[in-house]
């Protein structure tokens, strides 16, 4: 797993903007960075793929464990939504994508740090932008990346369910472009679609339905909006009418929750892909994470009982504690490998790197290839 310096394509900004990637620079600092790339061997890619499939199976088993042992309170899922989640799982409601975040040095096994199971940020970069970079710069090389094709396949499997709405927070360009990329893949699969800002989702009291601004029933909706936020909104009780099919499905709120990490460790302590984790520190070297948190916020890295690194954010506890598994260091940067599942397939990776050991919202996305 090599970090290799490269010369960016002339006019790369306009090139990727034409591909829908308009948030490539934040406050003058590149978010997309093609001045470097990571090179893997085919054996390393096979290793990442194998780990992703294994972890997906473990996570699905863990969902059933939460239901069987009634662990919803531990996952901060309010009691009124327990049956909502159970019904979604029992009905095998569709899941589209999820991303496992790995600490991986190319030598040992990938170690799972967490699972982004609900909101597919960095999907456009992983599926399209780095693929076009590869075609332009290294056309003879390969890339672990069939995300785009798998997304279209996934939408085709649910096309019979009719029109699909896509929603995200207004004013967030990254979320807007990500969800509209997903919308584009749905259109390519033959679905009728419409975009609506999440703040404009309405409720028709007489019909008891979620509706858009023209009072059309929103029967199916992909939301780039976390479940833990939705079930705490003023309208949350209306979700229990269960007359909208949501993507990601309600059962995914179990997996997008970091309480899954101690449960996975309890269930599969011999897995080479998991790190020891609990609801109390189990070693003097650990990472403290809020159960409900995103984008590297409110993280503490503790070494020998002392806080070595800490990030701020909006997420309070409770917390889980995961044994510290430092990201590998390459040229003063720390790469995190995000491995994607889509429609039941391990189908691609994306790499984020930072000059600090915690990957955050503004950590750079860099492309990869393998030989």
**pLDDT tens, residue by residue, 300-340:** 999 999 999 999 988 888 999 999 999 999 999 999 999 99
pLDDT band at 122 (very low <50, low <70, confident <90, very high): very high
pLDDT confidence band for 360 (50 / 70 / 90): confident
Task: Give percent of the chain above pLDDT 90.
Answer: 90
- Pair (153, 289) in one structural domain: no
Backbone angles phi, psi at 123, to 5 degrees: -70, -45
202-204 and 286-290 as β-strands: parallel, antiparallel, unpaired? unpaired
- The upper half-sphere exposure of residue 50, i.e. CA atoms within 13 Å in the direction of its Cβ, equals 11
Q: How would residue 162 be classed by pLDDT, with cut points 50, 70 and 90?
A: confident
Q: 344 and 365, same structural domain? A: yes
266 part of a folded domain: no
Q: pLDDT at position 158, please?
A: 83
Q: Are residues 38 and 160 in the same domain?
A: yes
In a domain, 44, yes or no: yes
Q: What is the mean predicted confidence (pLDDT) over 128-143?
A: 98
Q: What is the pLDDT of residue 154?
A: 95
Phi, psi dihedral angles at 101 (to 5 degrees)? -100, 125
Q: Are strands 345-354 and 364-366 parallel, antiparallel or unpaired?
A: antiparallel
Residue 264 has pLDDT above 80, yes or no: yes
Same domain for 281 and 228, yes or no, is: no
Whether 27 and 95 map to the same domain: the answer is yes
User: How far is Cα 120 from Cα 65, in angstroms, rounded to an integer?
Assistant: 25
| Domain membership flag for residue 165 | yes
- Find out whether 22 and 355 touch, Cβ atoms under 8 Å: no
Q: Is there a domain that residue 78 lies in?
A: yes
pLDDT confidence of residue 293: 85
Q: Which domain holds residue 288?
A: 276-323
341 in the same domain as 307: no
Same domain, 293 and 169: no
Are residues 317 and 333 both part of a single domain? no
- Tens digits of per-residue pLDDT, 108-118? 999 999 999 99
In whole angstroms, give the CA distance from residue 160 to residue 157. Answer: 8
pLDDT band at 362 (very low <50, low <70, confident <90, very high): confident
309 shares its domain with 347: no
Residues 6+ apart with CB under 8 A from 18: none
Pair (301, 332) in one structural domain: no
> Does 295 have pLDDT greater than 90?
no
**Mean pLDDT, to the nearest integer, of 345-365?**
92
Kindly tell me if the per-residue pLDDT of 97 is higher than 90: yes
Report the alpha-carbon distance of residue 175 to residue 182 in Å, rounded: 11
DSSP H or E stretch at residue 137: helix 130-137
Q: What is the pLDDT averaged over residues 236-253? A: 95
> What is the mean pLDDT of the segment spanning 268-273?
98
Mean per-residue pLDDT, 95-109: 97
Can you tell me the distance from the alpha carbon of 54 to that of 67, in angstroms, rounded to the nearest whole number? 21
Quote the CA–CA distance of 120 and 123 in Å, as a whole number. Answer: 6
Residue 358: pLDDT band with limits 50, 70, 90: confident
* Best CA proximity match to 259, nearest among 277, 247, 283, 281: 277
pLDDT at 357: 87
Q: What is the arithmetic mean of pLDDT over 184-192? A: 95
Q: Do 93 and 56 have their domain in common?
A: yes
Q: pLDDT tens digits, residue range 7-40?
A: 999 999 999 999 999 999 988 889 999 999 999 9
Query: Is the model's pTM score more than 0.85?
Result: yes
pLDDT at 159 over 80: no
pLDDT at residue 230, rounded to an integer: 96
Whether 61 and 267 have beta carbons less than 8 Å apart is answered as: yes
Q: Most distant CA pair in the chain: distance in Å? A: 61
User: Does residue 192 register a pLDDT over 80?
Assistant: yes
What is the overall mean pLDDT for the chain? 95
Structurally, the chain folds into a number of domains equal to 2
| DSSP state letter for 250 | T
Asked, for residue 46, whether it belongs to a domain, the answer is: yes
Residues 355, 236, single domain; the answer is yes
Rg of the chain, C-alpha, whole Å: 20
| Residue 299 belongs to a domain | yes
Domain boundary among 323, 341, 359: 323
Task: Return the pLDDT at 27.
Answer: 83
Residue 70 lies in a domain: yes
Determine, yes or no, domain membership for 265: no
């Amino acid at each position: 797993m090599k970090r290799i310096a490269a010369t960016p394509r002339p006019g790369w900004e306009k090139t990727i903007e034409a591909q829908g990637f308009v948030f490539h620079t934040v406050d003058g600092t590149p978010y997309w960075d093609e001045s470097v790339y990571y090179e893997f061997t085919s054996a390393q890619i096979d290793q990442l793929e194998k780990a992703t499939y294994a972890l997906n199976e473990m996570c699905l088993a863990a969902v059933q464990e939460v239901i069987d042992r009634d662990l919803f309170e531990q996952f901060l899922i309010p009691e009124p939504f327990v049956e909502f989640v159970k019904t979604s799982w029992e009905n095998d409601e569709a899941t589209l994508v999820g991303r496992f975040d790995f600490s991986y040095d190319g030598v040992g096994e990938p170690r799972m740090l967490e699972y982004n199971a609900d909101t597919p940020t960095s999907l456009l970069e992983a599926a399209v932008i780095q693929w076009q970079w590869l075609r332009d710069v290294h056309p003879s090389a390969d890339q672990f990346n069939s995300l785009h094709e798998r997304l279209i396949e996934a939408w085709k499997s649910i096309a019979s369910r009719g029109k699909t709405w896509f929603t995200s927070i207004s004013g967030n360009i990254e979320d807007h472009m990500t969800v509209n990329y997903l919308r584009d893949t749905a259109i390519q699969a033959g679905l009728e679609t419409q975009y609506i800002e999440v703040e404009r989702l309405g409720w028709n009291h007489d019909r008891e339905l979620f509706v858009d601004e023209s009072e059309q029933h929103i029967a199916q909706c992909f939301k780039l909006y976390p479940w833990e936020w939705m079930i705490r909104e003023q309208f949350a009780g209306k979700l229990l009418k269960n007359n909208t099919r949501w993507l990601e499905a309600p059962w995914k709120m179990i997996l997008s929750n970091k309480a899954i990490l101690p449960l996975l460790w309890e269930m599969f302590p011999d897995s080479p892909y998991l790190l020891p984790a609990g609801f109390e520190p189990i070693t003097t070297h650990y990472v403290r994470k809020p159960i409900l948190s995103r984008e590297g916020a409110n993280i503490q890295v503790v070494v020998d009982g002392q806080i070595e690194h800490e990030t701020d954010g909006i997420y309070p506890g409770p917390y889980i504690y995961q044994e510290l598994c430092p990201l590998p260091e390459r040229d003063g940067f720390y790469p995190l490998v995000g491995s994607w599942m889509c429609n039941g397939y391990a189908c691609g990776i994306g790499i984020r790197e930072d000059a600090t050991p915690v990957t955050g919202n503004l950590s750079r996305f860099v492309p990869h290839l393998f030989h």
